[in-house]
Structure formats: C-alpha cells, structure tokens
Structure 1
Amino acid sequence: MGLNVPASDPSSLLRDLDQRSREIFRRVVETYLETGEPVGSRNLSRLLPMALSPASVRNVMSDLERAGLLFAPHTSAGRLPTDKGLRFFVDAMLEIGDLTSDERSSIEATVRGSGRSASLETVLTEASQMLSGLSRGAGVVLSSKSDMLLKHIEFVRIEPTRALVVLVGDNGAVENRLIDLPPGLPPAALIEASNYLNAQIRGRTLADVRSELEHGLAQQRAELDALTRKVVDAGLATWSQASSGRPDTLIVRGRANLLDDLRALEDLERVRLLFEDLETKRDLIQLLGLADSGEGVRIFIGSENKLFSMSGSSLVAAPYRDSEQRVVGVLGVIGPTRLNYARIVPMVDYTAKVVGRLIG
C-alpha cells in the first residue's frame, strides 16, 4: 500500500499510515535513537511483532522514503529518519517518560547545592553542568538581564564624554555598560543621576522603572536639570536596548560531549561550524529566545534551524519563570538528533521548574 504525500499536520499524516507502516517507521526511528545506525529490511523483519518478509519491509520503507520520512545514507544501506521524520515521530508518536523520585531529588539537590546565598550565575551554571552530565549533551542556559531586580546603579566617568553604568542586582549580579555623555557635563550631574535612579529602582526591574519614567515625564523629570536628564535617559536607553527582545547571558557546559557524539559523522567540518556558532552565541541566543515565548518544552530538530542545519544537532529547551510567572530565562540541552527525547524532555522541564522556584 503506497503513501500519500505527507500532510503538515502530524495527526493527518498518522492517519495516512496503516498499522504496518507505523510499526516499521517506529522501529527505524527507535533503532536510530538507540544506536545512531541505519537499519535494513532483513534485520527489521526480525524485530517486528507481525510476520513480514524482508521484501515486504523493503517496499514499506521505500514508501516511507518517498513520503520524506526516511532516507538511505548509502545505496546498499538501511534507512535512517530524516529531520522531517524525526519531527513527525516527536510530535505524533513519542511517548514521554516521567522522572523517578530519585531523579527529581538528584536534580533538586544539584541545582540547590550552591545554596540560596549563591549568585544567579552560580545557580544557572550548576543547572547547565547538571543537564550536560545527565544528557551526555551540552547544557545551555540563558538569563534575561531585563528582568533582574535592581539594588543599586552608579555612573562612573571614564572619559570626558564617556561613562560606565554599573548595575547591581538583588541577587548579587553586577552588569556594566558604556554610555556617551553630553559635552560639558559637570561632575555633579553623574552624582545626581545616580541618586535619582537609586531612589526609584530598588527591588524593581529596569523595565518597570523605564516604563514609569516614560509615563511621568513632566512631574518626575522636572526634578532634574537638562544635562542630568540626558544622563538618566542615556543610561536607561543603553540598558533597555541591551536587554530588550531577547535574553543576553549565555552559559554553555559540556561541549566536549557533542564532539564525542558527533565524531562518527563523515564531515567533521559540521562539528566545527556548530562550535563556532556556540562561541559567537548570536544564533543560539536567537533560537533559545524563541523558546521563551511558549509554554513548556520546545524541541528544535536539525535543519529546522540554521544553527543546526550543518551539524546534525537538536535542542530541547524550556523557559523558567520567577515567582510572578514572568519568563526570566531559558535552559536546555543540545545534542545529536538522536537524543533520547523521551528522557530529556521531562528532565529539562523539571529543571526549569526547579530553577524558577530557586530564583523566585
């Protein structure tokens, strides 16, 4: 029985597959996820619960290949799932496991191990390292500075027309940015700007303060002279531009695991390209930024994103939230497309919840 062209809706495609085709496709994918190797019709016929000859299996695999779900890496080899096939499997056929109580306790103990007095970066680094160890992939964590609760701000002149803005968060994190100063700005203006903002920001986010200032220009900014107001505007604008739109602190642990898993690929240049993207961070930050707009765990597979299109990698990511349920970052695992999704999805999901509770 032949297959129709796959529909974009996984449930529709699932209906197009008869029971025999579903079982053969499932076995090919599960073998790939377990071993990374293609499976041939002869071996597959021995694994199936129904009696099918290698020739019958081969015909079904050819149909699945024409449907874009499988491909043959070599002329005489067995079949592997395509990225489209993996997406279909994940969306329509994957049975997500659950963590045991011991696994949950282990995750909590590891993330909480640094103690409540630890800085946010320490907590996130522990989470990234743990995800790497448990998944044998690379653990990645993004934190959004724009949601940091502020404790103190200071302007420090370093040149006649340049100053350093120093922001200290309630969690101990310290961030710096350079801003341009208006020509002829008197030293007292920096002190006034610092004092003015420190009276407004304690225990609040930068976005909150900026929004309030923008809605109360006449009353609040009348307290400042024109030059000081320019410093305040410059400082807030610089920080807002740096932190709006996407998270901007990235922690990656376990990149060596990627090399171990990808070493079997014929073209190690793909591994080098992935490492370069991890170093430059820009593409990964954009990709993980997509994950913070949705609920729960998101899975990105291979060619679905340009970052992974050349390296044969996947990302499982989930947002974590503060006590007010605002998304403040994203964490996840990068690995080969044959990641153990059933195990890693609940692991990433639970870790995100633990981190959210700890930083909330």
Structure 2
Amino acid sequence: MSAETPRSQATLSALAQLDERSREIFRQIVESYLATGEPVGSRNLSRIIPMTLSPASIRNVMHDLEEAGLIFAPHTSAGRLPTETGLRFFVDALMQFGDLAESERNAIEAQVAASGPDRSMETVLADASQLLSGMSRGAGVVLTSKSNARLKHVEFVRIELEKALVVLVSEDGQVENRIVPIPPGLPPSALVEASNFLNARIRGRTLTEARVELQRGLATAKAELDGLTQKLVEAGFASWSGGDPADRQLIVRGQANLLGDLKALEDLERIRLLFDDLESKRDLVDLLDRAETAEGVRIFIGSENKLFSLSGSSMIVAPYRDGQSRIVGVLGVIGPTRLNYARIVPMVDYTAKVLSRLIG
C-alpha cells in the first residue's frame, strides 16, 4: 500500500528541520485534534507527551511550530490546532498507517465481493460506496467510466419525425438512453439497418474499443450503408463518446454521516458547504479524475484542491482496475479534515483491491 501526496518532498525536508521534542509536541497536537476536534494547550500537552517538559518549554516549541505554519490558535485561548499545511506534513512524514483487523477485511470481502447472477456492476459499486461510508463515518464515493462497460446491444427507436432514441445495453445490465437527430428524409428501414450495423461490431467490446472498430468499419461501409444511415450511425455512437462528466458514473453514499459530529455553528456551515461541493458533480469528477493517475491511495486535504477550499474537507481515494490492470475508476471517502487517516487509508486501499479482483 502506498499513500501518494502532492507535497511529500517538501514535508520530508521540513521534518529534517524538527528536533525530537518539536516533532513529539506537534504529533500530540495533531493526534489530539484528530481524536477530539478541539485545540490543545501547553498544560495538557505537558501531561501527555512521553518526556518531561514544563508548560513554558512547550509554549516555546508551540511558538516555533506556529512560526513554521504548522499550527495556529483558533481564538484567544492557549490551545492550538494544526493548519492544513500541518496536517499535510503529519500525513506525509509522521503518521504510521495501521492495518485492517481481520473482521474488517471479512466485512469488505462479504459486502463488495458477494456475487449473484442478478447483481449488476452498478449495485456492486453502490455497495462499495455504502460500505466505505459506514466504516469511515464519512461519505463514500465511487467514480467509474461508463465507457469501460462491455456492450451487449444497441437499438434506434424513432420518437419524433427528426429525432430518435438510442438505447445502449451493457453486459452488466446497465441501460443508457440518448436522443439524437435524424437526418431529414431518413426511411424507417434505416433505423433497423443502423442498429444491425452497430450490433455486429460492438458486442463484447467497451465503448473505447467499439469506437476504434466503428471508425474502421465506417471507412469500408460505403457500399453497405447509404449516406443518411452512416450519419445516423455516427450520431448515435458519438452521443456516448464525448468524455463529458455525464458519461462518468458518480455514486455518493452516507452524506448524513457528516452531520453526526458537529460541535459548533461553524461546523454546520462547513458541512453545508461540503454538501454544496458534493452536488457539484463536474468539480468532484475532475478531482477524482486526478486520482486515476495514482498507483495507490491519494489524499487531498482542504484547500489543496479548489473543490474543498471553502468547506475545509479531505478526501482519501484509490484507483481500482480491471483484469488487464487498466484503471477503470476510483473509490474513497470524503469527510472533515480530521478524518482518521491512519485507519481509512488501509480501508480504502483494501476495498479498491477487492473490487479490482472482482472485476478482473
């Protein structure tokens, strides 16, 4: 398992500049925040750090950590919280990722890998999202490309004089519809002809593979198809191949979990902003797309990405693959910046591996 983060070199460099005392005090501030969400002061730190230091000595170290941009005072109290930079530093350089308990592994295997003849891939992905939500107490997210589904059947159905409904059925049971324009003067027989032409070339292929085959077929199909039917074929297939966010299947489960740990009105406002973020499908899809280039788990914290710049949220995601080791989607958890990173990272990583095994 690997947790890839955007600033690992910078944080490792910063780590080398902290002595053992500063490192331990900083660790305790972050771990206290992740556990309680509350600022911690020098007096409490002097009781919990595994070394003998006076509150005055700890305050001096805290001042240095604040100067370095790793912690801040949320108000006039003596307590401190980690900044987003501090959280990134902690995740990259100081945190030790745990391992899943056997019971957690079994739960993931049972829910994600439970197969049945009528269980579509969409159901599997929804179950994976719900599972991550339940285990993390955050929102579970799954993004997959519809273009990776294996195709079974396509059919053109006229719905108006110059419009047709194109129905595309995948082997996993998903059905997608698009409305396309019909060339003026197109006879009814052309709809059947276009359907037959596509069905002979798409069955068992992904959209990407079928697109290549279609381009090859159209180049030699002039004797087989008249000009109007060719236009219909091109319009029908192009309606699925634009790479638009609408062609990405996004599943979010467990938003209500994010309401369960509110401590103040500002927390409620943060969650409201996060809900707005989750409704912004295009931005979320763009963010998850960035995770598809990762080899392992990827962690996004707060304003490191524009999507969460206002709500101050974090996302832990990992790609999953098909039987040819091609990345076909990403899954993960969204929540407040004080997510239990050490526990959720191996959870997301293992779920992605189970899903990859199932798809492969």
Superposed CA deviations along residues 146-197 of structure 1, whole A, max 9, x for unmatched, are 1111001111111122221111111111111122222222211111111011
Shift of 1:246: 8.7
Superposed CA deviations along residues 241-275 of structure 1, whole A, max 9, x for unmatched, are 1x468961111111011122345352533322221
Residues 150, 206 of structure 2: 8 Å contact kept = yes
Quick one: percent identity of the two aligned structures? 69
Partner of 1:358 in structure 2?
358
Residues 312, 337 of structure 2: 8 Å contact kept = yes
Shift of 1:282: 1.9
1:186-197 equivalences in 2 (<5 Å): 186-197=187-198
Rounded Cα–Cα distance in structure 2 between residues aligned with 1:267 and 1:350: 30
Change (3 A) 1:221 1:324: farther
Superposed CA deviations along residues 45-86 of structure 1, whole A, max 9, x for unmatched, are 111122111111111111111111111101223111111111
Rounded Cα–Cα distance in structure 2 between residues aligned with 1:103 and 1:219: 55
Partner of 2:313 in structure 1?
313
Matched, 1:336 2:336: yes
Residues 247, 285 of structure 1: 8 Å contact kept = no
Partner of 1:78 in structure 2?
79
Residues 8, 93 of structure 2: 8 Å contact kept = no
1:135-284 equivalences in 2 (<5 Å): 135-215=136-216, 217-241=218-242, 243=243, 248-264=248-264, 266=266, 268-284=268-284
Change (3 A) 1:304 1:246: farther
Rounded Cα–Cα distance in structure 1 between residues aligned with 2:97 and 2:178: 43
Residues 213, 220 of structure 1: 8 Å contact kept = no
Shift of 1:113: 3.3
1:110-129 equivalences in 2 (<5 Å): 110-113=111-114, 115=116, 117-129=118-130
Give the RMSD, CA atoms, in angstroms.
Answer: 1.9
Q: Give the residue type in structure 2 aligned to 1:125.
A: A
Partner of 2:10 in structure 1?
9
Partner of 1:348 in structure 2?
348
Rounded Cα–Cα distance in structure 1 between residues aligned with 2:45 and 2:133: 32
Residues 246, 289 of structure 1: 8 Å contact kept = no
Rounded Cα–Cα distance in structure 1 between residues aligned with 2:278 and 2:93: 30
Change (3 A) 1:148 1:244: farther
Rounded Cα–Cα distance in structure 1 between residues aligned with 2:328 and 2:244: 12
Change (3 A) 1:65 1:247: farther
Matched, 1:286 2:286: yes
Superposed CA deviations along residues 269-295 of structure 1, whole A, max 9, x for unmatched, are 332222122223222111111111211
Report which stretch shifted further, 344-353 or 218-227. Answer: 218-227
Superposed CA deviations along residues 196-221 of structure 1, whole A, max 9, x for unmatched, are 11000111011111123334543245
Q: Give the residue type in structure 1 aligned to 2:133.
A: S
Matched, 1:42 2:57: no
Q: Is there any run of 5+ residues in structure 2 with no aligned partner, and where?
A: 1-6
Rounded Cα–Cα distance in structure 2 between residues aligned with 1:8 and 1:351: 28
| Bigger relative contact order, structure 1 or 2 (CA pairs below 8 A, ≥6 apart) | 2
Superposed CA deviations along residues 2-60 of structure 1, whole A, max 9, x for unmatched, are xxxx9961211110111111111111111111111111011111111221111111111
Residues 114, 122 of structure 1: 8 Å contact kept = no
Change (3 A) 1:214 1:252: same
Q: Give the residue type in structure 1 aligned to 2:321.
A: R
Rounded Cα–Cα distance in structure 1 between residues aligned with 2:275 and 2:8: 34
Shift of 1:115: 2.6
1:86-125 equivalences in 2 (<5 Å): 86-113=87-114, 115=116, 117-125=118-126
Partner of 2:3 in structure 1?
none
